Every structure is written in structure tokens, then in C-alpha cells.
């Protein structure tokens, strides 16, 4: 199966897809990205992802490379050309190509790149039995709400987790407050059954799965608190889980080698998993 990518107006074989060496995304990490899952060739929460993409661009004062209508046409065509029913779509937009200099160049066109990959879903045993995570210092920049391509701190955190055979690194600030995971949003369930996750501000990325899960939780009558919580509260939680577009909802059963609650996925997390799978089916017709 030929893999096709989109680069600034052209559909090309993936191995032939290139960008200029003076692209500011490469030189300065001056750009943003989105990852969108699709099933049955239908984007999961596509509108929400594209709305977040537009917000990230606005925050960095980068123009939309094409209209939203045009972008949706490109996305549909790219999925068709890759002959995939299920998979993932990466969209990356950089400020453009210009002589290396820190200030924004004048009269520069944004660069739009899209690629398609196979499905990124968790392993069945991770969904069923839960995963282990570690904690590590949150050393990221001050605008984590922007989905920037500047991901070095996240890479280092994720690598640390990988080396310790953990699924994820949960990021903790100097005051011991928990923000989110290296590639996910983080949640705890208190002993009173309250779902707690960090509120939306510049310290965390507003996850699309996060938004959906909180809406599903509230609709199901689960108490939700969007507030900061610290590592002490996390370590004494009854349940914990993480979410992302590729992970969906994963129970966390061990943090830094210590069991969370009973050491097994809890009832609130299980309920949310069921609700989210139903949500995916209603949007895309695919039962995972």
C-alpha cells in the first residue's frame, strides 16, 4: 500500500515528501500540530480538533494556511488516497520558510503538511488491566495550552517512562502540583467518587478526549472538579486514569511502583471507558 502525504498543495509519496531546510518549524519549532483519529474514514471529533488547531495558530499569530472548508477536502482526499479505513491523521502548520532570524518574517506563507498513519490504539491488556506510570518534573515552557511542535521536554519525559517500563510520565511542578502527562491528560478519582483533573489554563493542553470525557462524566452523574491536585492527593486516590486521542481512556493502576487504590481499574474508570467506546461508535460506526 503506497503511503501518500500532503505538502503545501501537492499529494506526494511519503518518502518523497520534503520541506525546506529553512522552514521555521525546523529552525525554531515555530509551528503547531494536531493528531486526529479516524474510523470508517470518519474523523473522531474532527471539528473540535480543527477548532483547537485554529486557536493554536492564533496564539502564535500564524495565519491559517487554507480555509477550514479546503482543509476538510484535503483531509478526506488524503484518507482516500491512503486507502485506510481506520488510522490517524497528523496536521502540521509552521510559520513558513525564510532566512534564519528570530523576528517574524514579513510576507511569508505558512507551510501545511499532512500525513496519515495506521491506528494508534492501546493494547488490549492495557485497557483491561491498566498501566503503570511514573512521575517526573514538569520542565516545559509556559504556554502548554498551545499544541506547539516544541516537544523536547515531553520527549525527555516520555523517554524516562519508557526506560522504566512505564506507559507514561505524569508531570509534577515544583510546588508538587500535578499538571498532565507527557502525552496525555491526567485524572484521579477521590475516595468520595469525585473525578478531578487540572483546570484549563496555560499549564495544560486542552485535550479533545478530555473535553469529551468530562461531558460524558457529568451527563452520567459523576461529580467533576476541574482544579489543581498535588502528588500527595494523587498517591492516595481511589482510582486514576489518563486520556488522549491515541490512548482513549487508560486506567492507571501503579504510580512510581505503588498501587493505586486496589491496584486494579476502578468502577468509575470502567464506566467512563464504556461510555467513551459508545461515543466513538455513535460518531464513526466503529466498535473498538
Catalytic site residues? 147
Cα distance between residue 103 and residue 49, in whole Å? 28
At 103, phi and psi to the nearest 5? Answer: -60, 155
Q: At what angle do helices 208-219 and 267-284 cross, to 10 degrees?
A: 110
86: CB partners within 8 A, 6+ apart: 38, 39, 40, 118, 119, 286
CA end-to-end distance (rounded Å), the chain: 23
Residue 67 CA, chain-centre distance (Å), reads: 23
Amino acid at each position: 500500500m503506497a503511503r501518500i502525504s500532503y505538502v503545501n498543495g501537492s499529494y506526494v509519496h511519503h518518502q518523497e515528501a520534503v520541506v525546506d531546510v529553512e522552514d521555521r518549524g525546523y529552525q525554531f519549532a515555530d509551528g503547531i500540530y494536531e493528531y486526529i483519529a479516524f474510523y470508517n474514514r470518519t474523523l473522531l471529533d474532527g471539528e473540535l480538533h480543527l477548532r483547537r488547531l485554529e486557536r493554536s495558530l492564533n496564539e502564535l499569530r500564524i495565519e491559517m494556511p487554507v480555509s477550514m472548508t479546503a482543509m476538510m477536502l484535503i483531509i478526506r482526499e488524503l484518507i482516500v488516497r491512503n486507502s485506510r479505513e481506520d488510522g490517524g491523521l497528523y496536521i502540521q502548520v509552521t510559520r513558513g520558510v525564510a532566512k534564519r532570524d528570530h523576528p517574524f518574517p514579513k510576507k511569508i506563507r505558512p507551510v501545511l503538511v499532512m500525513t496519515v498513519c495506521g491506528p494508534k490504539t492501546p493494547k488490549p491488556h492495557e485497557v483491561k488491566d491498566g498501566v503503570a506510570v511514573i512521575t517526573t518534573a514538569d520542565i516545559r515552557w509556559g504556554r502548554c495550552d498551545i499544541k506547539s511542535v516544541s516537544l523536547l521536554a515531553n520527549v525527555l519525559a516520555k523517554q524516562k517512562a519508557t526506560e522504566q517500563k512505564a506507559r507514561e510520565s505524569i508531570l509534577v511542578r515544583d510546588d508538587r502540583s500535578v499538571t498532565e502527562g507527557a502525552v496525555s491528560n491526567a485524572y484521579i478519582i477521590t475516595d468520595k467518587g469525585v473525578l478531578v483533573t487540572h483546570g484549563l489554563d496555560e499549564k495544560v493542553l486542552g485535550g479533545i478526549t478530555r473535553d469529551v470525557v468530562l461531558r460524558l462524566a457529568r451527563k452520567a452523574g459523576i461529580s467533576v472538579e476541574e482544579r489543581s491536585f498535588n502528588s500527595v492527593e494523587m498517591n492516595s486516590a481511589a482510582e486514576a486514569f489518563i486520556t488522549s486521542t491515541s490512548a482513549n481512556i487508560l486506567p492507571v493502576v501503579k504510580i512510581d511502583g505503588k498501587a493505586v487504590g486496589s491496584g486494579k481499574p476502578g468502577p468509575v474508570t470502567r464506566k467512563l471507558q464504556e461510555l467513551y467506546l459508545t461515543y466513538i461508535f455513535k460518531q464513526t460506526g466503529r466498535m473498538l
